Amino acid sequence: MSKAGKVELFTADGSSRGFYSSLNRLNELTGKEWVYWSKSVINKQYPPNMQHRLRSQHGGQKPPDLCADLIKVFTKEGALVLDPLAGVGGTLLGAALCRRNAVGIELDSRYIEIYEEVCRLEELNAQRFICGNSRQVLPQLAADGVVFDFILTDVPYWRMDKAEKSKGRYKKAGEVSKENRKSRLSPFEQVSYQSKAEWLSDLKGVFSKAVPLLKTDGYLAVFIGDMYNQGRYHFLSADLACMLEDIGLTLKANIVWYDVSKSLHVYGYQYQYIPSMIHQNILVLRKEGA
């Protein structure tokens, strides 16, 4: 069935997806799907798949299906997506799942090998994955005239410096305080400890090189977890959003991804309130035209 400028689309099992409008400039979603994905909270479950155990060697890997869902909101089929902090390739796998192309850049060659192994096991064509520092690789891509329709990325964990860390010992109920809790998440450029200002400055170095490669009116979405440490909540998503606005992007949304796979912790029980961090933020920014 079709209405003026609109055509009804169907899933593989014959259910109606709603009506797609020929005026849709952003994506290939129907009106019904667009409304669903305009929600500011994602509570959809993403069960482990696509060689999850292999990809878990990274520790900060994102579900490829979630990446695909985001890519489908911000691009049309055939679009080119950039991930300048690509890890084991959640964005690249997501792009393949929804018939988009992607370029990933990652410092650590071991993660690229894992991605290639995942592609082999899943019988997927590997996307272009460059081993190197984005701060050097991105200007080369710019010189080649590469333009991206969308940037989807995920920032490295902030490894707070020793001074700040020692102030923030925290414990589970009944346990003695712990000095240095180890994280398997990948730090920024092998830096073991850094201040928040240094972390943001390193990120600025990457994002300020990536944004010139984004098409005008294109979107950038970035995963960023806030942290509770040093006895206080660190609003890292807000700090990152300010930095990204400083380099010329406009903040459009903070989507909360409620990660249902996260377990609840009991830090602070009976002493003080400490949240169980079971969400991540997905900041959405746009490179506005003049």
Ligand X SMILES: C[S@@+](CC[C@H](N)C(=O)[O-])C[C@H]1O[C@@H](n2cnc3c(N)ncnc32)[C@H](O)[C@@H]1O
104, 141 contact by CB (below 8 A): no
Pick between residue 218 and residue 225 the one whose CB is nearest to ligand X. 225
Q: At closest approach, how far in Å is the CB of 204 from ligand X?
A: 11
Pick between residue 30 and residue 104 the one whose CB is nearest to ligand X. 104
- Selected from 88, 213, 220, 240, the binder of ligand X by CB under 6 A is 88
Contact flag: residue 225 with ligand X (CB under 6 A): no
Calculate Rg over the CA atoms of the chain. 20
- By CB under 6 A, the residues from 99 to 118 that bind ligand X are 105-108, 111
- Closest by CA to 190, choosing from 244, 124, 275, 109, is 109
Contact flag: residue 189 with ligand X (CB under 6 A): yes
253 C-beta neighbours (distance < 10 Å), count: 15
User: Across the beta sheet with 250-258, what order do the strands follow?
Assistant: 41-42, 250-258, 279-286, 214-224, 148-154, 80-83, 101-106, 128-131
- Closest by CA to 252, choosing from 175, 148, 150, is 150
Q: At closest approach, how far in Å is the CB of 162 from ligand X?
A: 20
Q: How many residues bind ligand X (CB under 6 A)?
A: 24
- Selected from 20, 27, 51, 58, the binder of ligand X by CB under 6 A is 58
- Within 8 A by CB and 6+ apart from 188, the residues are 155, 156, 157, 158, 159, 194, 199, 202, 203
- Selected from 20, 62, 199, 220, the binder of ligand X by CB under 6 A is 62
Q: At closest approach, how far in Å is the CB of 222 from ligand X?
A: 10
Give me the residues that bind ligand X (CB under 6 A), please: 58, 60-62, 85-90, 105-108, 111, 133-135, 154, 156, 186, 188-189, 206
